Structure formats: C-alpha cells, structure tokens
Chains A and B, each alone.
Chain A
Amino acid sequence: MQSVLRDLDSTRWVHELRASGAVHEAAAARLHDLLLRVARSEAARRRSTLPDRGLEELDDLCAQAAGDATMAVIAKLGDFRGEARFTTWACKFVIFEISTRLRRHAWRHRWVETDETVWERLPDQRRSALDSIQDQEIFGALDRAIGQDLTGRQRLVFRAAVLDEVPIDVLAERLGSSRGAVYKTLHDARRKLRHALAAQGYGVKAS
C-alpha cells in the first residue's frame, strides 16, 4: 500500500535519514538520542517489576536497545508509509527492544521448564496450576484436554506462558525460538482447548 500524506516533521526525518554524509549522521544521532530517552523512560516506568540486583545494568540495556532500534529504523526506512508519525513508528522499535530485554532481565535468574514431558511428570503441580478454575467439572475437562489434545510442545508452552506466567519472549529465548513462533504455538493450544470444552457443552466460544 502506498502512502498517505506525511506530516512535515516525518518528511524531514525520512529525508535526512536518507541523505548521505553529515546530514545523515546528524539525523541518525538525533534518532539515537530520542530512542535512548524513550528506552530509559520505559525502564524507569517498569523499575518496580525488576529485581534490585539487576538495576545497575539497566542503562546498558537501554543503550543496547537504542542502538539496535536505531539500526532497525534506518534499515526499514523504506517500509515507513506515513500511516503514523515517524517518531511513533520509530519508537515502536525501541519499545520492542527494551521490553524484550527488560522481561528477559527480570527472569534471568529464574528457572523455566523446557522439558515437554513436564505435564506427565509432575501431576501434583497440575492442580495448583489450574486452581483459578473453581468449577470442578470444567477443571477436569480442561485437565483432560491438555493431556489428550495438545502436543508435548503445546503443553509445555501453554503451561509456561499461561499457568506459570513466563513472558513469551523469555520462553522464546529459552527454547531458541521467536516471540511470534511461541505465540503461534500458544494460540493453537488455546484453540484446541476451547474446541474441546465447547464440544463437551461448556459454553466456551470456539469457531
């Protein structure tokens, strides 16, 4: 899709980043400064979710995120269509970079189960994992569906991401995968479970 009208500020950013020499260098430096400021602001906003012992490393994470995001923005400049302001478009790259780093940082000393047989090996943990479900009939049906309808990988991802609340980009890192791929596995697992409950008449919507 070709673009909509760009605002003057966005047009200037794109023009200067596409230039060569000193004009490009100055624009790239301004972009990096902007993205570093956004990364630091986000790290400060999430500070309460981070372990105390890792706080001194936060600025390094912000610098890494701003550096990677600046390179990504410049590399993807041809994809910018002006459907949002340039600064908003650019900020999404640094938000993705710093969010991923902060979640992984918060979990770096925490164990994440990556053995696909965990559901079968640790049956006692299944009850606590599903204890938010008060209705015993639904609890039983869901427990059976997880055991019977999901693949080992889907059980692992569902358990980690939903029951143990492991962030999916942390899980992706531990599994050597990507956020999108892990989310797809989770999405497919949830769809199977909705279908299983719907088929048993539990009033769960499943298309």
Chain B
Amino acid sequence: MSQSPLDRLLGNDDPDPGCDAGLEVIDQYCEAIRRGEDAAGRFPAFAAHIHNCTACREDTEALLAALDGL
C-alpha cells in the first residue's frame, strides 16, 4: 500500500475504530478477500484502520498467509 509522506505521517481522515475493534472483524475481512469479494467495501472502517495502523496491517497480511496454508 503506497502512501505519500504526509499521508504516512498523519494517516487518513476516515472513521477508524482502532485495534481492538479491528480484531473483531479481521477474520471476516480476510475470508472476504480470499473469496474475491470487495472486503474494503464490506468493512470500510477496518480498511481505514489498516491503512493507518502498521501492526494491524501486518497482522492482516499474516492471517491471509495463514489462510493460504490451512
């Protein structure tokens, strides 16, 4: 996900529920991606969060990799 320097520093302005709320839906988000669905459209708040939060973005990538190995 490429970001401008200012975007990287300040994040985006979309509603962002934070890490704890993100953990509630990360499994559904990843399954939606693997089904080829519009995951960001279904979970816009989570999509905004992983744009802003490096740790949760890495965890999403990790869960997607895990799903490929199940």
A interface residue numbers (CB < 8 A to B): 37-38, 41-42, 45-46, 83-85, 87-89, 91-92, 95-96, 98-99, 103, 130, 132-134, 138, 142, 162-163, 165, 167-169, 179-180, 183-184, 187, 190-191, 193-194, 197, 204-207
> Which 4 residue pairs spanning A and B have beta carbons closest together?
A132-B5, A84-B27, A180-B20, A205-B13
How far is it, in angstroms, between the C-alpha of A179 and the C-alpha of B19 when the chains are bound?
Answer: 7
Some 6 contacts from A to B, beta carbons below 8 A apart, are A95-B63, A132-B5, A138-B6, A162-B9, A180-B20, A206-B13
Query: Which residues 34-65 of B sit at the A interface, judged by CB distance below 8 A?
Result: 52-55, 58-59, 62-63, 65
* Interface pair A194/B27, CB less than 8 Å apart: no
Residue of A nearest to B16 (CB): A187
Known: A95-B59, A162-B8. A89 touches B27 (CB 8 A): yes
B interface residue numbers (CB < 8 A to A): 5-6, 8-13, 16, 18-20, 23, 26-28, 30-31, 52-55, 58-59, 62-63, 65-67, 69-70
How far is it, in angstroms, between the C-alpha of A128 and the C-alpha of B16 when the chains are bound?
Answer: 29
